[in-house]
Each structure stands twice: as C-alpha cells, then as structure tokens.
Amino acid sequence: MFAYNVFMVVSNAYFFALSIRWLDYGRRAFEFEFPSRTDTSAATLEQIDETVLYGYTKFIDLIDTVFFVLRKKHSHLTFLHLYHHFMVPVLGWSAIKLGPTCQPIAVFAILNTLVHVIMYSYYALSAFGPSVQRFLWWKRYITLLQISQFCVFVTYGAFSAALTSGWPKGLYWIGWVQNPLFLLLFLNFYRQSYRKSADKTKKVL
C-alpha cells in the first residue's frame, strides 16, 4: 500500500506540472475556442501523447477498489466510491478522444492531480500506523478540497457552455451533467461522514 500511494503521489505531481504547461501557465485557461483538429505540430502531438498517458492513470485509480476488497474494507465501497472510480476513467477517456488538447481537460488535470497528491500523501502517511495517524487530523479537509474542485468544474463548465464554439456535444454532457452530480455526491458524503459524527459528539458532551 505504501509503495502504491507513493507512486500515485509522484505520478500525479508529474502530471500536475505537465497540465500547467498545457495551459501555458494559465494563459490559455479561458480560451474557449475548440482546438484545431488539423494541428499536427510537434508541441500538439506531444501534448496528445501526454494527455493519453494521463488518461491511463485514471484506470490505475481502480486499484484502490481492489485494495478495499482485499483488506475487507467493504464499508469503503460506497456508491460514491464505485460510481466515481468507474465513471472518471470512462468520462476522462471520452473527453480525451473528443478533444485531447482542449482546455477543460488541462483545467481538470491541474485540480484533480493536486487533490490526488494531497490525498495519496495522506494515505501514505497513514500507512505508518497509529503513531503517525494521530497527527493526520486533516482528512475531512481532503473531502472539502474535492468538493471545492467540483465547484470550480461546475463554474468552469458554465463558462465553457456559454462561450465555446464548435465543441462536440459529448463534452457538454461531461461538463454539465457529471460535474454537478459528482458535486452532490461528495456533499452528501461529507454530510454523512462528518456532520453526523459531529452531532454524535455533541450528544455525548
């Protein structure tokens, strides 16, 4: 588990750096015109290869589910977990096929890899056992970071829908339907996981 978590930290940090470059360090974040399909420049082809490689990492994320099953942590196999880990590879790969150099993919990659670096760092540290786990008080803030991530995606998706031209309809579906759904699922998870535990603590006190 520790080696896997460290690998995920390193790989996500690598793609975080790449995705910043894909957006030309933020300068292309709000260019909503769909990229030319006839652009065969070396830089574009390199970005396509890198984006496809990033897409493969979304399938590697499925190993989390395998670990939960092997360790018999069935309580972790929630609808959110299963839906998230199934749909993200499917949606990510679909987006890459439709427009591998489009800006929303880079925006998604920047935020998603940043969240994953923090999340897998937490998992790697927690693997050291109780002596370290007692210092890991910030788990709930990872969920809040994920919620914030999808708030940005929903807002960015709204801008994209209003300002883009020539985009495949499939990309609108990914941005408009899936991101709000993920946001609602994570909000519900946060409420069930942390609000209820806080209420129980108050009752005990």
84 annotated active-site: yes
In DSSP notation, 60-90 reads: HTTHHHHHHHHTT-GGG--HHHHHHHHHHHH
User: Residue 177 contacts by C-beta under 8 Å, 6 or more apart in sequence?
Assistant: none
Task: Provide the 3-class DSSP secondary structure of residue 33.
Answer: strand
Average pLDDT across the chain, whole number:
87
Banded pLDDT at 112 (limits 50, 70, 90)? very high
pLDDT single digits (tens) 71-105: 777 777 888 888 988 888 988 888 888 888 988 88
From the candidates 74, 76, 84, 116, which is the catalytic residue?
84
User: Per-domain residue ranges for the chain?
Assistant: 2-25+36-204
Cβ 12 vs Cβ 117: under 8 Å: yes
The one-letter amino acid at 82: L
pTM reported for the whole predicted model: 0.88
Tell me the H-state helices in the chain. 2-22, 42-60, 63-70, 79-98, 103-126, 130-133, 139-163, 169-173, 179-190, 196-204
